[in-house]
Amino acid sequence: MKRTLADAALGQSVRIAALDLEGEAASWLGAVGLAEGEELVVLRRAILGGPLHVRTSSGGEFAVAREVALRIAIA
C-alpha cells in the first residue's frame, strides 16, 4: 500500500514520490515548487481532518489540504 503525505507523522521528513493530481491543485503545487523529488517536513497537522503545514527543503512553508495530501505519494 502506498503511503501518502496525509500518513506522514508530525516532524517527519519525507520525499515526494509521485503526484496524482490534475487541474488547479496540480497547478498550485507546481507554482509553489512542490514536485516529485522535493523533500518536506510536516510541521503541524490541523485537527478534524484539516490541512497539513509543511516546510520544503528550500525553506518555503505551505498548508496542504488533506484531500490534496491524500494524493501525494511519499517515500
pLDDT 10s digits, 1-19: 689 999 999 999 999 999 9
The CATH number covering residue 12 comes to 2.30.30.90
Q: At 72, phi and psi to the nearest 5?
A: -110, 105
3-state secondary structure the chain: CCCEHHHCCCCCEEEEEEECCCHHHHHHHHHCCCCCCCEEEEEEECCCCCCEEEEECCCCEEEECHHHHCCEEEC
**pLDDT computed for residue 10 by the predictor:** 94
**pLDDT computed for residue 1 by the predictor:** 65
pLDDT 10s digits, 14-68: 999 999 988 888 888 888 888 899 999 999 998 888 999 999 998 999 999 999 9
**Host domain of residue 18:** 5-74
Domain count, the chain: 1
